[in-house]
Structures are given as structure tokens and as C-alpha cells.
Structure 1
């Protein structure tokens, strides 16, 4: 029995509580509030967009947290052509709520896979 009481005392010790609090803070504020983390948001956004559009989400080119949740830009394969460098891709802006649910999307750009953005003098 003495081991049991020692264990309960050690679990309630200030050192033990600090350790528990530091583990919670390592997960970030979003995990503590029950919101998904960035990787989960990325995966879910790609999946939701693919289900809604029926197109393959190839990559995420932009990702940011907003006041209303999350905003991503996802590159999507819209039309397969041969050769592959002629396939049509599109960038979709995807908005999600704080829990990762898709609230809206729109196509912001369409381009051939083999084409680069034009170079702007003085720009990056």
C-alpha cells in the first residue's frame, strides 16, 4: 500500500503537474481546444476538395490560419493530356472553418503543367 500512496503523492506533486502542463503546451493551443492541427487540416482539405470536384488534388502551395479558420491554395489536375506537360492544372483557394470543415472554394488560376509564371521585373 505504501507504493500506492507514494504514487498518488508523486502524481499530485508540483513537478508532476508542471510536466503534464508542458506536454499539453507542446501540442499547441489548437490541440488543447479540440481543433485539428495543421497536418490534419492539410490532409482533410485535399480530401474534401477532391470529393467535391472529382479532381485529383496534387499539392498544397499555400497554407495560412485566418480569423475564420484556414485558407489554402491547392493545385489540382483538371485535364490530363499527352504529353503530361500539356495537362491542365488549376489553383483553388479553399476556405475552412476552425475545425477543418470546408466552407468554400474557388478556382483562382488555370495553367498548363509545363508553363511557369511570367517573370515580373523587380518582383519575386
Structure 2
């Protein structure tokens, strides 16, 4: 009997009517029906505190379960079941790993240059940067532009272009690599 009352109170609005009875409408995620909320003067403080505490506990349990599921699914995605020793806690990783900040800055500069000039350079609407890689003479960027709009947008014709840049991110040339329909992902998988 107590379980039935607990289930009903969890699914029933927490607000009190003018008669002092609980609202009979079903509760939404926040514990109140569409007509009431926690600022409603008919909601008693003790109900709100209990409801909030239960909601916080439920959210914590859900978050812990989600994290455990995510960890297991990541292991499965890799095709390997990892032991506890093989799993790495991000907090325990040494943060003093050396990174080449100049190269990162170079990639960001090239990305910014390509984003701002690709549409104008190629004469089509810029869509995305697919790749940026250093070369012997500077940088190589692959961008995607919309060559023809269609309805639905999965039928848009997308052109992939290679743009050559020097070390200072100055564009030296470009060429089209290929074209495809936005919805056709088979060639890239």
C-alpha cells in the first residue's frame, strides 16, 4: 500500500488546491503539473524540499548509471573489454605534456584564413573545413563548399577543394578534389 502511495505521489502534482487537497493532475519532470510550479503559493514548503531532495537523488543515480554505461560502451566500441587497471582516470593524468603551441597557433591561423576566404576564393558558399595538414612548403587545407542547394538538403551538391597555403597562411592556389551529394556518406566510410 505504501508503494502505491509513493508511486502516486511521484507522478502526482505537488501543489495544493484551495481546499488543501493535492492537485490531481499528473506531474511533469519538475514535480508539478502544467498549471503549477514551485513559485505557486499553494505549494507547501515541506513538499518542495522533499521533492527537490528526491529529484536531486534521482538525478545523481541517473548520472552515475549513465557514466557507467558510457564507460562500458566506449570499451565495447574499441572492441576491447578493459580492466579497471587499464582505465585511466583523467584527473590522474600528468598535465605537463609538452605541446607545440606554435603549430597549434599555425593550424588555427590557417583555419581562420580558410574559413574567411574559401567562399570568396572558390565562388561558392563555404560549408566546412575537413582537413588541415602541414606540408613541406606550408599548409594544405581541404574545405567543402555548397555547389548547388537542393530540397531536401541531403541532396545538396558539395564540392571538396584543396587549398594550398604558405607558412604565413597566404593562399597560393586551390583545386577541386571531388563532388558528392551531402547525404552520400558511403565513399567516406
Task: Name the TM tier (shorter chain).
Answer: 0.5 to 0.7
Q: Which structure shows the bigger proportion of residues in strand conformation?
A: 1
Map of 2:130 onto structure 1: 61
Coordinate RMSD, CA, aligned:
2.4
**Cα deviation code 1:41-81 (max 9, x no counterpart):** 10111222211222122111111011111001111111101
Aligned length: 92
Map of 1:108 onto structure 2: 177
Aligned positions of 1:1-124 closer than 5 A: 28-29=101-102, 37-118=106-187
Question: 5+ residue gaps in structure 1?
Answer: 1-24
Poorly superposed stretches of 4+, deviation over 3 Å: 25-31
Distance 1:64 1:118, change over 3 A: closer
Structure 1 residue 27, shift from structure 2 partner? 7.2
Which protein is bigger by CA-based radius of gyration? 2
**Cα deviation code 1:68-118 (max 9, x no counterpart):** 110011111111011111110011011001100110000101001111134
Provide the C-alpha distance between the structure 1 equivalents of 2:99 and 2:184, rounded to a whole number of angstroms.
Answer: 42
Q: TM-score, normalised by structure 1?
A: 0.64
Provide the C-alpha distance between the structure 2 equivalents of 1:81 and 1:74, rounded to a whole number of angstroms.
Answer: 20
Q: TM-score, normalised by structure 2?
A: 0.44
